[in-house]
Amino acid sequence: MKLTEEGCRGRQSKLVAILQAKNLDGALISERAHVYYFTGWLCNPHHSTALLLNNQGKARLVTAGEPEGLAFDEHLHYDSDRLSTMHCRQHEAAAATLKPTIPEGRYGADLGGGISCVAALGGENLVDLSPEILRLRKTKWPDEVDAIRDAIRLTHVMYETALEIVRPGADEMHVYAELLAETTRAAGEFLEVFGNDFQSNSFGGSPRRRRMEAGELYILDSGPRLHGYNADNCRTFAVDGSPTDAQMKAWSRIDSLFAILEEAIRPGVDPKELFQLADEYFRWEGYPGMIHHLGHGIGLRPHESPELNPNYDTIFEEGDVITMEPGLYSEELKAGIRLEENYLVKADGVERLTSFPRDLVRS
């Protein structure tokens, strides 16, 4: 059961009393669990959130999502992604959104959690090294690549399991539970993060209490995290094993694009060029162009640089580990096809790290 608005407002009142007793103008809350505790908003764990509660009990919530019916008085939105690629500066984006709305005064904050208590040891002259560390993380060391390969192994388990259980009448939530069980057995340990999209006849999303129907396509975007590192690749399955002509035509167009993209990747290439190539390749056949990113880096986070996205500035470098995930979506396709592979960028091109067949059906 999720927290209630009544309970959250009660907890806010307790905090307001503390603020007034300490002569503080408000509280700046940024730890995910604390924002949930006071507002009922449990944000996506890949995003940041923030709450400003003033000493009169007014709650201003900053999120990347669109919360409804929760314990807040004002909502501010920040963009956590550009064309579906999450960026790595979520905290900074949330802070920049909130900053102009904060009156001068004395404020308290939940400094006891996260990195703040360690960072405070650096004193007043502390220098933020986050941009430099993120830059180092872009290209992967061999041990990181091996960790990603191990996580990719689990995605193949997910696809093998899906072939056995995805069928008309299968409940999305039950399918998800079986996927999680089989993948956890293969991992031999708790999986901190499991995946991305588990819906039939949908662009993607979390599993629902909904039964799959004949003629639909099931997009399984697999993203388990093992030993701290994320895999992220995708296959699409014909629920009844009999894809329509329209589905097969779209699948063929997407599938044939990979060889072209793989040939185009080299260190020094701008990923925007690949996005444009994919966009034009779909349009030549009369399909809509790219409606989301073409791909992104993976590593300690599911989305890292380099971003294959016209809204970001980066270049391919040797050692980058990336995804490529072209897709086509429409009501006629019920509701779309996304295929995604993982690659290591090398001096002379790319090495594909994923090997599971891309077919809509498999005998």
Is the model's pLDDT at 68 over the cut of 90? no
Is the model's pLDDT at 236 over the cut of 60? yes
* pLDDT value at residue 111: 81
Nearest Cα to Cα of residue 357 among 200, 236, 239: 236
Is the model's pLDDT at 251 over the cut of 80? yes
- How far is Cα 348 from Cα 228, in angstroms, rounded to an integer? 28
> Which CATH architecture fits 5-128?
3-Layer(aba) Sandwich (3.40)
The continuous run of DSSP H or E covering 349 comes out as strand 349-352
- How far is Cα 293 from Cα 304, in angstroms, rounded to an integer? 13
CA dihedral angle for residue 193, residue 210, residue 174, residue 170, rounded to 10 degrees: -130
Is the model's pLDDT at 102 over the cut of 70? yes
Say if 5-128 and 137-352 have the same CATH topology. no
- How far is Cα 323 from Cα 303, in angstroms, rounded to an integer? 9
Higher pLDDT, 133 or 299: 299
**What pLDDT band is residue 127 in, cutting at 50, 70 and 90?**
confident
Sign of CA dihedral 171, 174, 175, 176: positive
Q: Which CATH class is domain 137-352?
A: alpha beta
Please state the three-class secondary structure of 154-199 as a single string.
HHHHHHHHHHHHCCCCCEHHHHHHHHHHHHHHHHCCCCCCCEEEEE
* pLDDT value at residue 128: 78
User: How confident is the model over 259-302, as pLDDT tens digits?
Assistant: 999 999 999 999 999 999 999 999 999 999 999 999 999 999 99
* pLDDT value at residue 130: 81
**What pLDDT band is residue 342 in, cutting at 50, 70 and 90?**
very high
Mean pLDDT score, 310-320:
97
Query: What distance lies between CA 57 and its chain's CA centroid?
Result: 33
Inter-residue contact 192 to 225 (CB < 8 Å): yes
User: 142-165 vs 172-187: helix axis angle to the nearest 10?
Assistant: 140
**What pLDDT band is residue 114 in, cutting at 50, 70 and 90?**
low
* pLDDT value at residue 363: 57
Which residues, including other chains, have CB under 8 Å from residue 170's CB and lie 6 or more apart? 211, 212, 239
Average pLDDT score, the chain: 94
Mean pLDDT score, 160-168:
97
Nearest Cα to Cα of residue 156 among 233, 240, 236, 255: 233
Listed by start position, the domains of the chain span 5-128, 137-352
Least confident residue range of 18-22, 44-48, 243-247, 323-327: 44-48
Higher pLDDT, 176 or 121: 176
User: How confident is the model over 81-93, as pLDDT tens digits?
Assistant: 999 999 989 989 9
Is the model's pLDDT at 2 over the cut of 80? no
Q: Is 336 helix (H, G, I), strand (E, B) or coil?
A: strand
Mean pLDDT score, 128-147:
89
* pLDDT value at residue 1: 63
